[in-house]
A and B are shown apart, each in its own frame.
Chain A
Amino acid sequence: MRKYSLVMAVLLLMATWAVAKDEPKFKSIEVKHFPNAEGVELPPEFSDYLYAELRATLQKKKLADQLLGEDEVVDPADAPKSAILEGSVLEYKKGSVVKESLIGFGAGGRSLTAHIKVTRRSNNEIIVEKDIKVRAMARWDPKTLAKFLANSIAGQLKHSD
Chain B
Amino acid sequence: MQTRSLLYLVVSFLLMFVALSATAEEPKPTPENTISINLVTQIQPQTFTPPVKFFVDKVIDRSANPQPMRVLRERGGVFLDKEPTEIVQQALQETLQKSNLLAADAASADYVLTVYVFHFGLGSGLGAEYYGKVDLNIVVKDKKTGASQQVTALGTSVQGAAMRKKNILKNIDADIEGALESALRNFLRGTKLRDAVAPVSDKPAAAPQARLCASGLDS
Contacts and interface: CB of A to CB of B under 8 A. Distances in A.
B123 A49 contact: yes
Interface string B167-183: 00000000000000011
Contacts of A53: 131, 158
Nearest to B156: A52
Contact of A143 (B126, B133, B186, B190): B126
A56 B191 contact: no
Contact of B186 (A45, A72, A141, A144): A72
B46 A69 contact: no
A143 B183 CA distance: 22
Most buried by B among A48, A49, A52, A55: A52
Majority DSSP secondary structure for residues of B touching A: mixed
Range, interface on chain B: 20 to 34
Nearest to A68: B189
A70 B131 contact: no
B131 A72 contact: no
A143 B133 CA distance: 15
B157 interface: yes
B209 interface: no
A45 B123 CA distance: 8
Contacts of B190: 69, 71-73
Nearest to A71: B191
B192 interface: yes
Interface of B: 46, 123-127, 131, 133, 153-158, 182-183, 185-186, 189-192, 194
A49 B158 CA distance: 9
Interface residues of A, number: 18
A147 interface: yes
Contacts of B154: 48, 51, 69-70
Contacts of A141: 126-127
Contacts of B189: 68-69, 72-73
A72 B124 contact: no
Contacts of A72: 185-186, 189-191
B126 A69 contact: no
A70 B182 CA distance: 10
B123 A48 contact: yes
Contacts of A143: 124-126
Contacts of A52: 123, 131, 133, 156-158
A51 B126 contact: no
Contacts of A48: 123, 133, 154, 156
14 contacts: A48-B133, A49-B125, A49-B131, A51-B156, A52-B157, A55-B156, A55-B158, A56-B131, A69-B153, A69-B154, A69-B182, A71-B192, A141-B127, A143-B125
B162 to A, nearest CB: 15
A68 B125 CA distance: 21
A70 B187 CA distance: 10
A95 B190 CA distance: 39
Contacts of B191: 71-73
A144 B126 contact: yes
Contacts of B133: 48, 52
Contacts of B192: 71
Given A45-B124, A71-B192, A141-B126, 8 more contacts: A48-B133, A48-B156, A49-B131, A52-B123, A55-B156, A56-B157, A69-B189, A69-B190
A69 B151 CA distance: 13
Contacts of B123: 45, 48-49, 52
